[in-house]
Amino acid sequence: MTKEKPSVREELRKIKESRKEQKAEIDTSALNKSGASDRAKSANRKTEHKQTPEKEKETKIQRNEVNSYEYL
């Protein structure tokens, strides 16, 4: 039974090393790919959703007009 413990530890060490290598490969392949989604993200990795101010004003005006007609 004492002979089994070192082999189990060795297997676990090998598994951990292989996982680290796989993670490193994934990280390097992800860095090599650059798509439109990466360009849309800022330094803090949040996606920026851009909408023109004119568009926002138009939608607010339309909502207010609808609300004012409901009360009449």
pLDDT per residue as tens digits for the range 26-71: 877 766 665 545 555 555 666 666 666 565 555 555 555 555 555 5
Range of the domain at 5: 1-31
Q: Is residue 61 part of a domain?
A: no
Q: Tell me, yes or no, whether 67 lies in a domain.
A: no
- φ, ψ dihedrals at 33, nearest 5°: -85, 130
Higher-scoring residue by pLDDT: 16, 67: 16
Structure tokens at 29: 């392949």
Residue 7 pLDDT grade (very low, low, confident, very high; cuts 50, 70, 90)? confident
- Count up the domains in the chain and report the number: 1
d(Cα 42, Cα 15) in Å, to the nearest integer? Answer: 36
* Closest among 55, 37, 54 to 46, alpha carbons compared: 37
Report the predicted TM-score, pTM, of the whole model to 2 decimal places: 0.35
Query: Among candidates 51, 29, 50, 53, which has minimal Cα distance to 40?
Result: 50
Residue 72 belongs to a domain: no
